[in-house]
Structure 1
Amino acid sequence: MIELKNIRKSFGEKEILKDVSAKMEAGKTNLIIGASGSGKTVLMKCMVGLMQVDSGQVLYNNEDFTAMDDKEKKPIRQAIGMLFQGSALFDSMTVEQNVMFPLDMFSDKSYRDRKKRVQEVLDRVQLKDANKKYPAEISGGMKKRVGIARAIVLNPKYLFVDEPNSGLDPQTSLVIDKLIKDLTQDYKITTVVNTHDMNTVMESGDHIIYMHEGKKQWEGSNEDIIFSDDQLLNDFIFASEFFQDIKEMRKMEMFRDKQWRKKAGGSSSNS
């Protein structure tokens, strides 16, 4: 689990993060959503240590990451996998070489074992016969899957994903969302996803944090969103008539779902 306690971050006189506290749960897809400028990207960068907080704490399994020096942070950093928005693959390396890069840097396994591990994760992200191809020779969706394979090759406890569906068509986006969710559940990873994609929110949002003007405005699941009366959240998620119709349809589906009603306590007051 990752816990944020009273995180503040400013650039000059502009305060970007304003006393943000939240928990990112293991085995769940934790989403950070919000409009551009809401602070979600800065929040993620503070969580992985790319930016230093002005005050507050980032705790990894109750260990204060913000209070550690570089040497103390190293074990946690090695337990972190990262999928960047543009995949950030090395153009001069093959798919296999890109995925093997973290193993070459941090693993003392033999070349044979490293290559075996690369093949395991490429199979896991459903990439066949792509080992010797270069990034310029594969599609955008395949690049994302290579990025995911590289992010999980060291068996991370924590996976950070920045806009996984950026530049992808809707069908490929669904594939990427499902892959991230499956990996999270199968390996009990604490996954944190920074996203604008509303399909990701509605289909993959086990735990969602909505940021608004540097503050945590709302926190809950994709089921909770359907029944939330937070006006700022509703204006952001269900801005169009299309998404408003989807909200009403999802409400009706959930009311018909006996298991959901049992989970919710069987009371309309929780809805």
Structure 2
Amino acid sequence: MIELINIKKGFEDREILRDVSATMESGKVNLIIGASGSGKTVMMKCMVGLMEVDSGHIAYDKKNFTEMDTHQRKELRKQIGMLFQSSALFDSMTVEQNVMFPMDMFSMGTLKEKRQRVMECLDRVNLKDAAKKLPAEISGGMKKRVGIARAIVLKPKYLFCDEPNSGLDPQTSLVIDQLIKELTHENNMTTVINTHDMNTVMESGDHIVYMYQGQKQWEGSNKDIIFSKDQQLNDFIFASEFLREAKEMRQMEIFQHKDWRDQLKK
């Protein structure tokens, strides 16, 4: 798991993160949600070391990442996979070469072993037949799946995804959501997703951290959201009349089950 303990981050006279503490749980899809400017992107960048916190610390499985030196961080990053918002594929490399790139950077295996692992990952994201194609020859959804294959090729313990559904149609977004969720549970990864996609929140949110004006406003699961009384969270998640009606329908469905009293207590 990944723990954030009282972290603060600011730029000049502007405070972005204000004393944030949260836990990203292993084997679960952990979501960071919030409006633009709420601090969620800065929070993720601090977690992977692209930014340094001003105070507090971040721990990976009880190991203090904040105090690690360059060599220690490099070793830890071998266990981290990253899916970028724009996929960030190398245009001049084939799909196979893009997925192999992390292995060339960190792995000491033979070329045959690397290719075997690459094909395993491409097969898992259903892109084995696209191995020799260039990024320009595949769709946006396929590029995201290539990005996922590259992110998992080193069998990471931690997977970070920045807006994985950005620019995708609803049907393709569902495929990406399901794929990330399956890989997380299959490999017991600690997956952290920065997202605005409400379908991702409701379908994949095993554990959710809602950021509001630089602070952790709410924390829980997608099931907890249905009964949350936090006004800022409800205004953000159920902003439209349609979504508010959908929430009421979901509440009614849950009421029909014997555990509805437990839900109300939350």
Structure-2 residue corresponding to 1:121: 121
SS of the aligned residue for 1:165 comes to coil
The one-character-per-residue Cα deviations of 1:91-147 (angstroms, maximum 9, x if unpaired) are: 000000000000111111100010000000001111131001000000000000000
Q: For residue 175 of structure 2, what is the aligned residue in structure 1?
A: 175
Aligned partners of 1:37, 1:115: CA distance in 2, in Å?
42
CA distance in 2, matches of 1:118, 1:132: 12
Which residue does the alignment assign to 1:237? 237
Structure 1: distance between partners of 2:194 and 2:81: 14
Q: What does residue 142 of structure 2 align with?
A: 142
* 5+ residue gaps, structure 1: none
Alignment of 1:1-271 (within 5 A): 1-258=1-258, 261=259, 266-267=261-262, 269-270=264-265
> Partner of 1:129: helix, strand, or coil?
helix
2-side partners of 1:100 and 1:132: how far apart?
12
SS at match of 2:131: coil
- The CA distance in 2 between the partners of 1:168 and 1:80, in whole Å, is 24
What is the CA distance between 1:67 and its match in structure 2? Answer: 0.8
Distance 1:50 1:80 in 2: 13
AA partner of residue 107 (structure 1): S
Letter in 2 for 1:234: N
Provide the C-alpha distance between the structure 2 equivalents of 1:128 and 1:267, rounded to a whole number of angstroms. 46
Q: Structure 1 length as normaliser, TM-score?
A: 0.96
Q: Alignment partner of 1:66: what SS?
A: coil
Q: Distance in 1 between matches of 2:167 and 2:243?
A: 21
Letter in 2 for 1:270: K
> How many residues are paired up?
266
Task: Report the CA distance shift for 1:124/1:213 in structure 2 as closer, same or farther (over 3 A).
Answer: same
- Structure 1 residue 239 displacement after superposition: 0.5
1:252 CA displacement: 1.7
C-alpha separation in 2, matches of 1:78 and 1:56: 24
Q: 1:269 deviation in Å? A: 4.1
TM (norm. structure 2) is 0.98
Distance 1:121 1:248, change over 3 A: same
Question: How far 1:255 moved relative to its partner?
Answer: 2.2
Determine the C-alpha separation between the residues in 2 that align with 1:24 and 1:158. 10
Query: Matched residue of 1:87: which SS?
Result: coil
Change (3 A) 1:96 1:268: closer
Q: Distance in 2 between matches of 1:130 and 1:257?
A: 46
1:174-227 CA-to-partner distances (Å, cap 9, x unmatched) read 000000000000000000000000000000000000001100000000000000
Tell me the secondary structure at the aligned position of residue 166 of structure 1: coil
Q: CA deviation at 1:77?
A: 1.0
User: How far off its partner does 1:256 sit?
Assistant: 2.6
Using the alignment, how far apart are the partners of 2:92 and 2:10 within structure 1? 38
Amino acid at match of 2:104: D
Structure 2 gap segments, 5+ residues each: none
Query: Which whole-Å CA distance do the structure 2 matches of 1:64 and 1:253 have between them?
Result: 44
Q: CA deviation at 1:86?
A: 0.2
In structure 1, C-alpha distance between the alignment counterparts of 2:235 and 2:216, rounded to whole Å: 16
| Residues 218-264 of structure 1: per-residue CA shift (max 9 Å, x gap) | 00000000000000000000010011011111112222344xx1xx7
- Counterpart amino acid of residue 111 in structure 1: L
What SS does the corresponding residue of 2:255 show, helix, strand or coil? helix
Secondary structure at the aligned position of 2:128 is classed as: coil
- Distance in 2, matches of 1:256 and 1:127, equals 42
Runs of 4+ with deviation above 3 angstroms: 266-269
Letter matched to residue 188 of structure 2: K
Q: Give, in whole Å, the separation in 2 of the partners of 1:167 and 1:125.
A: 19
